[in-house]
A and B are shown apart, each in its own frame.
Chain A
Amino acid sequence: MDLETAIARLPAGARRVFVLYAVEGYRHEEIARVMGVAEGTVRAQMHRARKLLMEVLDR
């Protein structure tokens, strides 16, 4: 599976946070503001996104 497909298959919340961080270059606190969530939520979504991506990309 390629990277874009793997990202597209992430749960919506994890996908938004991960793309804002990795593609757009936003920091956690900025993502939290844009999405209207707590920074802890952003962290948790990043953890989840990385774990799922690594699993599906078999890394």
Chain B
Amino acid sequence: MTDHVAWDALNDYADGVLDETTRSAIEVHLAACRECRGRLEEMEVLVREVSRLPREFAPPVEAWASIREEVERRKVVSMPGAAGRRPAHRNWSQRPWLLAAAALVLMVSSSAVTALYIRRGELPPAVASNPPSLAMPVALLDVERGYVTSVKELAAALDAARPNLAPGTIQIVERNLAVIDAAIAESREALLRDPGNRVLQDVLAGSYRQKLDLLRRAAQLAAS
């Protein structure tokens, strides 16, 4: 047999993310192709081995601690996962008000730090203009919850290292953060009017990523 299942499709099959028609076609092929069955088995063995690694296993990646924290915070309600894998747990999406409250607390608590490079004594524009409320769209919360804690942590790291930065550098960081926060505020306002707009969600997420990147670079510069 020469027309084997493509690598990407076999990956998606292993992850259970294919539609039924494609999945059925691959299963027909697998039944007749030992080579593809072997490749699939290798993929599944790899994931099984990784799933047995200790939960505290955490590769050193930027903002990884924040992602783990976010993941752990949502592990309250058990939900069925894929066969043989750890179940995923979360309840934030079912209780958006809880997330809104946490987001407000996190961003307000970080304001003393972020004020150093935004405008002293004021909340970041993204918070000041649109404080999280019970009526906040879930889509907006979904975008922001992956970033709020990371921003807070990086801002704290930068604050701690601030004495090492030249005044000119701090001014540049402040100016850039102000621009990014203005973009965040604008996207948030637009999302509040049109919560289902995926483009706006992507734009907002992109602005948060820019902010994280800037904070990370500044903190690294201060620490070097």
Contacts and interface: CB of A to CB of B under 8 A. Distances in A.
Q: Do A and B interact with each other, yes or no?
A: yes
B147 interface: yes
Interface residues of A, number: 36
Interface centre among B17, B42, B50, B208 (most CB of A within 10 A): B50
Interface residues of B, number: 42
Given A7-B59, A47-B11, A22 B50 contact: yes
Tell me the dominant secondary structure on chain B's binding face: helix
Tell me the dominant secondary structure on chain A's binding face: helix
B217 interface: no
A23 B53 contact: yes
Given A7-B59, A12-B62, A36 B143 contact: yes
B51 A25 contact: yes
Contact of A20 (B11, B43, B71, B143): B71
Interface of A: 3-4, 7-8, 10, 12, 15-16, 18-28, 30, 33-39, 43, 46-47, 50-51, 53-54, 57, 59
